[in-house]
Amino acid sequence: MEYLEIKGGRSLSGTVRISGAKNAALPILSATLLAGGGFEIDQVPDLQDVRILLRLLKELGVEVKDKGPSGLLLDSEKLESFEAPYDLVRRMRASVLVLGPLVARLGRARVSLPGGCAIGARPIDFHLKGLELMGAKLEIREGFVEARAKRLIGAHIYFDVPSVTGTENLMMAACLAKGKTVLENAAKEPEVVALGEMLREMGAGISGLGTGTIVVEGSRELRPVYCKIIPDRIEAGTYLMAAGAAGGELVIENCIPEHLETVIIKLKAAGLKIKEAGPGRIKVKKRGRLKSVDVKTQPYPGFPTDLQAQIMVLMATAGKLSVVTETIFENRFMHVAELKRLGADIRVEGRSAIVRGVKYLYGAPVMATDLRASACLVLAGLAARGTTLVQGLEHLDRGYEKMDEKLAALGARIRRVRQKGDISRDCT
Ligand code: EPU
Q: Which of 56, 26, 59 is nearest to 41 (CA)?
A: 26
Q: Residue 164 C-alpha to ligand 1 middle, in angstroms? A: 6
Given a cut of 50, is residue 424 above it in pLDDT? Answer: no
The atom of ligand 1 lying closest to the CA of 124 is: 8
Please report, as a single letter, which amino acid is at residue 136: A
Q: Residue 8 C-alpha to ligand 1 middle, in angstroms? A: 33
Atom 39 in ligand 1: residue holding the nearest Cα? 23
- Cβ neighbors of 232 (< 8 A, separation 6 or more) are 18, 19, 20, 21, 22, 23, 24, 45
Given a cut of 80, is residue 421 above it in pLDDT? Answer: no
Given a cut of 90, is residue 65 above it in pLDDT? Answer: yes
Reported confidence tier of residue 422, pLDDT bands at 50, 70, 90:
low
The atom of ligand 1 lying closest to the CA of 300 is: 38
Atom 18 in ligand 1: residue holding the nearest Cα? 163
Q: Which of 381, 351, 336, 358 is nearest to 292 (CA)?
A: 358
- Cβ neighbors of 68 (< 8 A, separation 6 or more) are none
Q: Which of 414, 363, 358 is nearest to 384 (CA)?
A: 363
Q: Please give the pLDDT value at position 331.
A: 87
How many other CB atoms are found less than 10 A from the CB of residue 142?
Answer: 9
Structure pTM? Answer: 0.97
Atom 37 in ligand 1: residue holding the nearest Cα? 164
The set of protein residues with a Cβ atom below 6 angstroms from ligand 1 is 23, 26, 94, 120, 122-127, 161, 163-166, 187, 191, 305-306, 328-329, 371-372, 399
The CA-based diameter of the chain, rounded to the nearest angstrom, is 63
Pocket test for ligand 1, best of 171, 328, 400 (most atoms within 8 A of CB): 328
Q: 232-281 pLDDT, tens per residue? A: 999 999 999 999 999 999 999 999 999 999 999 999 999 999 999 999 99
How many other CB atoms are found less than 10 A from the CB of residue 161?
Answer: 11
Q: Residue 126 C-alpha to ligand 1 middle, in angstroms? A: 11
Find the DSSP H helices in 46-205: 48-60, 86-89, 99-106, 125-133, 164-175, 190-201
Catalytic residue IDs:
117
Q: Residue 147 C-alpha to ligand 1 middle, in angstroms? A: 21
Q: What is the Cα–Cα distance from 144 to 278, expressed in whole angstroms?
A: 49
Reported confidence tier of residue 49, pLDDT bands at 50, 70, 90:
very high
Q: Please give the pLDDT value at position 119.
A: 79
Reported confidence tier of residue 118, pLDDT bands at 50, 70, 90:
confident
Share of the chain above pLDDT 70, in %: 98
Q: What is the Cα–Cα distance from 198 to 272, expressed in whole angstroms?
A: 35
Q: Residue 413 C-alpha to ligand 1 middle, in angstroms? A: 34
Q: What is the Cα–Cα distance from 331 to 372, expressed in whole angstroms?
A: 13
Q: Which of 237, 202, 151 is nearest to 32 (CA)?
A: 202
Pocket test for ligand 1, best of 163, 305, 351 (most atoms within 8 A of CB): 163
Peptide bond into 304 cis (omega under 30): no
Q: What is the Cα–Cα distance from 342 to 360, expressed in whole angstroms?
A: 9
Q: What is the Cα–Cα distance from 32 to 90, expressed in whole angstroms?
A: 22
More confident site: 140 or 119: 140
